[in-house]
């Protein structure tokens, strides 16, 4: 599961995860951690954390857990203590290196997604949600994950279409089926 994305089914009633795409960064016996990739906030990175004064891009709502924490995924394998999630996508790493690398121009801010909070599942919880068909499972490339020209709702549609088959048709589902 690590490196895959969870795509919420079109009519998920939970507003926290409605039409969300979540990158799974850890799936172990003690639980699962992931980050919502398509819920941009109104807060720029430099508004909420010091050391990244030049980073004016928006942060993302990574999930409802530990909303006072900042996380990041990026494309730089050389950052100390970062973990490869999938080809070209790394999670976490030395904040000091990131801050200094961005300030010096060695790292480009657009090759990062900064996320407030995270999404977490207790052991067995995600498996139960998958059996209930709450989530579709797929993969996205690093190019798609970091493409800032893809709007949040369009990332959800792209992710569903990437599955193919009958599931791809779900991308055209209205948000409220009663208004169809």
Instruction: Render pLDDT for 55-107 as a digit per residue (tens, 0 to 9).
Output: 999 999 999 999 999 999 999 999 999 999 999 999 999 999 999 999 999 99
Q: How many domains does the structure of the chain reveal?
A: 1
* 38 inside domain: yes
Q: Report the CATH number at residue 32.
A: 3.40.1740.10
* 78 inside domain: no
Start-to-end CA distance of the chain, whole Å, equals 34
Give the three-state DSSP class for 107. coil
* 125 inside domain: yes
Cα gap 70→66, rounded to integer Å: 9
Distance of CA 16 to the CA centre of its chain: 13
Degrees (nearest 5) of the Cα angle 72, 93, 126?
55
* 95 inside domain: no
* 169 inside domain: yes
Quick: pLDDT tens for 103-131.
Answer: 999 999 999 999 999 999 999 999 999 99
* 128 inside domain: yes
Sign of the alpha-carbon torsion through 101, 102, 108, 111: positive
- Domain residue limits at 174: 5-65+114-179
Cα gap 45→160, rounded to integer Å: 29
Q: What is the pTM of this model?
A: 0.93
* 86 inside domain: no
Distance of CA 127 to the CA centre of its chain: 19
Residue 32 burial class via C-beta count within 10 angstroms: exposed 0-12, middle 13-18, buried 19 and up:
buried
* 77 inside domain: no
């Amino acid at each position: 599961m690590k490196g895959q994305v969870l795509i919420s089914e079109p009519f998920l009633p939970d507003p926290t995860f409605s039409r969300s795409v979540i990158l799974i960064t850890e799936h172990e016996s003690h639980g699962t951690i992931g980050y919502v990739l398509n819920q941009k906030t109104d807060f720029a990175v430099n508004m909420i954390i010091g050391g990244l004064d030049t980073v004016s891009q928006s942060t993302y709502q990574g999930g409802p857990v530990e909303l006072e924490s900042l996380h990041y995924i990026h494309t730089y394998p050389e950052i100390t203590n970062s973990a490869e999630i999938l080809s070209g996508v790394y999670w976490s790493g030395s904040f000091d290196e990131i801050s200094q690398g961005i300030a010096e121009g060695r790292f480009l801010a657009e090759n990062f997604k900064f996320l407030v909070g995270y999404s977490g599942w207790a052991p067995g919880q995600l498996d139960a949600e998958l059996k209930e068909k709450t989530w579709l499972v797929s993969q996205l490339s690093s190019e798609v994950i970091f493409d800032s020209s893809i709007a949040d709702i369009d990332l959800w549609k792209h992710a569903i279409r990437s599955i193919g088959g009958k599931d791809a048709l779900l991308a055209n589902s209205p948000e409220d089926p009663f208004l169809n």
